[in-house]
């Protein structure tokens, strides 16, 4: 009993280093930290100071069943983190919008040999945590447990059973379906959620990214448990999987774990590559009348894939434009100088297909047109003139100063490993991150923005009261 209490206390300490999961839906970020590989937060950095971080030696291999594996040994804590990613996000829903999301909620509701209560009790007794989520690009399943084999091995047995052999019981499905419908109603009452839904719908049109990951009220009604089983059977296969591990285990144990997980899956086939997103032919403004005091604004376009060579230049440029908090151009112009908003932010979310570049804010409804005009004028000026040397230096200091924080915990490194494997980034991605950022020049930023951001062909979404169609 004393040992169990000690284990529980140790686990709670270790879990405190974890990072939060971003919601699959929302007004600004849809794939969370998994796609952008950004810093966790911006911190003040001493100029020209070195950027210390952990030495991360990444090993890669394939299992005998064809799953990709990335592993980092980290012996600082007696913990193991496992993340299995499948190319099975909501972009694979087909016509059944929300099926991937329902699978993520149903995965631990039972297997052929375990009920949901059995699963919960097993993880609780072992001090293990389990998490599953479906984003637009990817589906991820996580396990965190102590590295002692007395806890690790039985936790992996349950985890593998859940991933490979979920039963999707009807009673659990009915309960989760009811909860999903309640969530749909809550979204209808949120102007920011409505802005996000409209933004993706009109930006992506017929592309699989267009529909909400959580589905729609009508689409959910058409989904049955057999649909969840078919989705799982098609996409939860070794050829479509990336297994990532970090923790206090040696190479042989990591290989054994990866083989166990991969071996429980059928070999299958990798999902086909996502189709490209055609650019908008012209600027579009969509407005939804909503009884709110503030008008929520989202502007943007489909910008780049994750493997694009211009990623770092667009990343640094976005830090200057609107991603760098209070020091960004948009924040200074709209908040500090004119008091039009509490906060305005821009973000770049590269994905398997062209992910969005977005600018988002909320403002008083009678100030909406002024805010839109200022955003457009500042964006055009930035694309035309580019960034100053001082702005670039400050942006790089912020990015490189915050980067060590993003590799300070096992959970954050696990997120990097998952993204690297899923998007086929090079094995030295983390080692060369600082160098790639430092090499970005004013010319690189200017050319990247001119290549990927066309202010005359952007989608503008406004949700609020009394908004007229904005000038382009």
Q: What tens-digit pLDDT sequence spans the chain (472 residues)?
A: 333 333 333 333 333 333 333 333 333 333 333 333 333 333 333 344 444 455 789 999 999 999 999 999 999 999 999 999 999 999 999 999 999 999 999 999 999 999 999 999 999 999 999 999 999 999 999 999 999 999 999 999 999 999 999 999 999 999 999 999 999 999 999 999 999 999 999 999 999 999 999 999 999 999 999 999 999 999 999 999 999 999 999 999 999 999 999 999 999 999 999 999 999 999 999 999 999 989 999 999 999 999 999 999 999 999 999 998 899 999 999 999 999 999 999 999 999 999 999 999 999 999 999 999 999 999 999 999 999 999 999 999 999 998 887 788 999 999 999 999 999 999 999 999 999 999 999 999 999 999 999 999 999 999 998 665 544 4
Nearest to 59 by CA among 306, 428, 307: 428
The pLDDT score that the predictor gives to residue 67 is 98
Report CA 92 to chain centroid distance, whole Å. Answer: 16
Cα angle 380-386-391, degrees, rounded to a multiple of 5: 120
Q: How many CB atoms lie within 10 A of CB 383?
A: 18
Q: Do domains 57-263 and 284-464 have the same CATH topology?
A: yes
The pLDDT score that the predictor gives to residue 6 is 35
The pLDDT score that the predictor gives to residue 56 is 87
Topology of the domain comprising 57-263:
Cytochrome Bc1 Complex; Chain A, domain 1 (3.30.830)
CATH code at 284-464: 3.30.830.10
The pLDDT score that the predictor gives to residue 358 is 97
Q: How far apart are CA 340 and CA 371, in angstroms?
A: 7
Task: Please state the domain extents for the chain.
Answer: 57-263, 284-464
Q: Give Rg (Cα) of the chain.
A: 23
The pLDDT score that the predictor gives to residue 407 is 82
Q: How far apart are CA 458 and CA 27, in angstroms?
A: 16
0.85 exceeded by pTM? yes
Nearest to 266 by CA among 241, 283, 301: 241
The pLDDT score that the predictor gives to residue 54 is 59
């Amino acid at each position: 009993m004393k040992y169990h209490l000690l284990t529980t206390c140790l686990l709670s300490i270790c879990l405190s280093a974890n990072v939060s999961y971003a919601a699959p839906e929302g007004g600004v970020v849809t794939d969370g930290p998994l796609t952008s590989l950004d810093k966790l937060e911006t911190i003040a950095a001493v100029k020209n100071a070195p950027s210390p971080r952990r030495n991360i030696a990444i090993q890669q291999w394939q299992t005998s069943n064809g799953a990709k594996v990335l592993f980092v040994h980290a012996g600082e804590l007696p913990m193991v983190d496992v993340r299995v990613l499948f190319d099975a996000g909501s972009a694979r829903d087909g016509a059944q919008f929300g099926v991937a999301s329902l699978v993520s909620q149903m995965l631990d509701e039972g297997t052929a040999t375990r009920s949901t209560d059995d699963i919960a009790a097993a993880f609780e007794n072992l001090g293990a945590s389990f998490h599953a989520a479906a984003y637009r690009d990817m589906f991820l399943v996580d396990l965190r447990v102590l590295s002692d084999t007395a806890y690790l091995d039985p936790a992996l047995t349950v985890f593998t059973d859940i991933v490979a052999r979920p039963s999707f019981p009807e009673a659990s499905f009915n309960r989760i379906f009811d909860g999903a419908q309640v969530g749909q109603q809550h979204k209808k009452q949120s102007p920011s959620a409505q802005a996000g839904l409209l933004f993706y719908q009109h930006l992506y049109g017929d592309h699989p990214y267009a529909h909400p990951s959580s589905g729609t009220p009508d689409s959910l009604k058409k989904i049955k448990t057999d649909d969840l089983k078919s989705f799982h059977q098609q996409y939860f296969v070794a050829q479509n999987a990336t297994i990532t591990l970090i923790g206090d285990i040696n190479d042989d144990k990591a290989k054994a774990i990866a083989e166990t997980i991969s071996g429980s899956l059928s070999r299958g086939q990798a999902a086909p590559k996502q189709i490209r997103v055609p650019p908008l032919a012209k600027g579009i403004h969509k407005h939804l009348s909503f009884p709110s005091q503030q008008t929520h604004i989202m502007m943007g376009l489909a910008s780049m894939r994750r493997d694009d060579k211009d990623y770092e230049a667009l990343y640094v440029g976005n830090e200057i434009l609107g991603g760098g908090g209070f020091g960004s151009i948009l924040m200074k112009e709209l908040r500090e100088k004119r008091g039009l908003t509490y906060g305005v932010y821009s973000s770049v979310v590269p994905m398997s297909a062209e992910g969005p570049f977005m600018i988002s804010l909320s403002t008083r409804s009678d100030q909406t047109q002024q805010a839109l005009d200022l955003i457009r004028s500042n964006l055009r000026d930035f694309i035309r003139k580019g960034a100053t040397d001082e702005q670039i230096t400050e942006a790089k200091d912020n990015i490189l100063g915050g980067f060590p924080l993003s590799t300070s915990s096992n959970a954050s490194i696990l997120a990097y490993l998952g993204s690297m494997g899923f998007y086929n980034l090079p094995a030295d991605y983390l080692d060369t991150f600082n160098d790639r950022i430092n090499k970005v020049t004013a010319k690189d930023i200017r050319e990247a923005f001119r290549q990927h951001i066309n202010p005359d062909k952007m989608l503008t979404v406004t949700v609020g009261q009394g908004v007229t169609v904005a000038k382009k």
